[in-house]
Amino acid sequence: MKADQQLIEEVKQGHTAAFAVLVERHQTTIMKAALRVTRDMTMAEDVVQESFIKAFQKLDSFEGRSSFKSWLYQITLNTARNKLRSNKRESVSLENLVLSTDGHIEAQLHRASVFEMIKSEIDELPDKQRQAISLRVFDDLSFREISEIMNCPYDTAKANYRHALLKLKAKLEIHPEFKLMREKGNYNINENKGTFVEVES
């Protein structure tokens, strides 16, 4: 399988068909990011289409200082935010939101009430902390990728994530419903891994 950079070089040399491989490779991840920001499937689809068009048009300016995935992620997030501002549409309710989680996280957060509670608390975090923990937990990105997407130093990305995790833990520890779920299901927060797990009795 060709690396992203090799495909990019082929596109720059005029082999535009190689861009279709990049689209196929990254469209699922980009859709999840767009959906998480817009919370609207139709809008998210528009964002994804616009983002790939912008990426294709700007590909000559891509110098490879960051990964193509991170660069595309930045384009997608900016496009999604601009789309929200221009459309001024209300977000759909949480029950209609399709969250971007990998199988492992979904298994850990399989109880809907706990999952919704955690997502609601994440939404209340400061913007940079919310973005850092969402990219880390929901999209399973490395701190290097997060720093590239947030356009900040590696240590800053990690600090934002850490602060978010500590705030989230503090809020959930005193949340009555979460306390009840912990008593019934032994839910806890693993600070080292940044995950929310159901510990066996």
pLDDT at 38: 85
Boundary residue ending a domain (87, 108, 130) = 87
Give pLDDT, residue 8.
93
Residue 101 and residue 81 in contact, taking contact as beta carbons nearer than 8 Å: no
Q: Assign 9 a pLDDT band (cuts: 50, 70, 90).
A: very high
Report the b/e string of 29-44 with b at 16+ CB within 10 A.
bbbbbbbbbbbbeebb
Q: Name the domain count of the chain.
A: 2
The answer to whether residue 191 sits within a structural domain is yes
Over range 32-51, report the average pLDDT: 89
State the amino acid at position 44 in one-letter form: A
With bands split at pLDDT 50, 70 and 90, how would you rate the model's confidence at 113?
Answer: low
Residue 179 lies in a domain: yes
**pLDDT at position 186:** 47
When comparing pLDDT for 22 and 198, which is higher?
22
Stretch 107-114: mean pLDDT, rounded? 48
Domain with residue 55: its CATH number is 1.10.1740.10
Could you tell me if residue 78 is inside a domain? yes
Domain-terminating residue out of 18, 52, 87: 87
> For residue 189, what is the DSSP state?
E
Same domain, 118 and 143: yes
Residue 67 CA to residue 46 CA, distance in Å, equals: 23
Q: Helix axis angle, 154-173 relative to 176-185, nearest 10°?
A: 90
- Cα separation, 197 vs 187, whole angstroms: 6
pLDDT at residue 179 above 80? Answer: no
Asked if the structure places residue 93 within a domain, the reply is: no
Same domain, residue pair 14 and 78 = yes
Burial bucket for residue 161 (CB in 10 Å: 0-12, 13-18, 19+)? buried
Is the pTM higher than 0.85? The answer reads no
The residue segments making up the domain with residue 32 are 4-87
Q: Say if residues 34 and 99 touch (Cβ distance below 8 Å).
A: no
Residue 36 lies in a domain: yes
The pLDDT of residue 142 is 87
Q: 45-54, 87-96, 138-147, 180-189 — which is least confidently predicted?
A: 87-96
- Give the mean pLDDT of 127-132: 90
- Asked if residue 112 and residue 58 are part of one domain, the reply reads no
The last residue of one of the domains, among 32, 60, 87, is 87
80 with 28, same domain? yes
Q: 3-state class of 188 per DSSP?
A: strand
